Amino acid sequence: STYYVPRITSNVCKPRRLYISFSDVGWENWIIAPQGYLANYCLGECPFPLTEELNSTNHAILQTVVHSLDPEGTPQPCCVPVRLSPISILYYDNDDNVVLRHYEDMVVDECGC
């Protein structure tokens, strides 16, 4: 399920709220905890001129310049995760062992262009 934070109306690249529920994907029978987690995702434009807040790469800055000159030929840079954090999942395996596993890059903390 996805839903936006109500007060944020700008269409600039930033993390948006996304809660992933393991029961929605039918994994609740073997995942003990968490029941779900706030994974988030990146969405929004990377417009010209890119500001510092948009965590832009040099390449993205140049791409926006080229895009402003030739919107048909060159797309705007993409809005992508630039900082992710891990989560741990507690689950039962097929041999009924209890497993605690660490997974990297599961939560979007920051987005950038």
Partner 1 sequence: LDVQSQETLLLKALGLKARLSPKTLAPVPPLLWKMFQRRSKPGPAHADAKEVQRPCWVEEFQVPGNIIRVFPDQGHFIHSREPQSLLCLQKRLYFNLSALEEDEMLTMAQLEIRFSQNWYQAASPARPFELSLYKATQMALLGMSGHTHSRQMLLEQSFVHLHKSFVFDLTQVAKEWRIPARNLGLILEIGVPPLPEGEFCSGIDSFLEASLFVVSLAPSQCKTPRKRR
Give me the residues that bind partner 1 (CB under 8 A), please.
25-27, 29-30, 32-34, 83, 85-88, 90-105, 107, 109
Measured between alpha carbons, how far is residue 80 from residues 30, 45, 56, 111 in Å?
31, 10, 10, 5
CB of 95 to partner 1, least distance (A): 5
Q: Which is nearer to partner 1, 78 or 87 (CB)?
A: 87
Q: Which is nearer to partner 1, 59 or 69 (CB)?
A: 59
Q: Which is nearer to partner 1, 71 or 103 (CB)?
A: 103
CB of 113 to partner 1, least distance (A): 15
CB of 55 to partner 1, least distance (A): 11
Question: Of 90, 110, 109, which is closest to residue 100 (Cα–Cα)?
Answer: 90
Q: Which is nearer to partner 1, 71 or 105 (CB)?
A: 105
What angle (nearest 5°) sits at the alpha carbon of residue 38, between those of residues 10 and 56?
45
Measured between alpha carbons, how far is residue 53 from residues 8, 46, 50, 56, 111 in Å?
15, 11, 8, 8, 10
CB of 80 to partner 1, least distance (A): 14
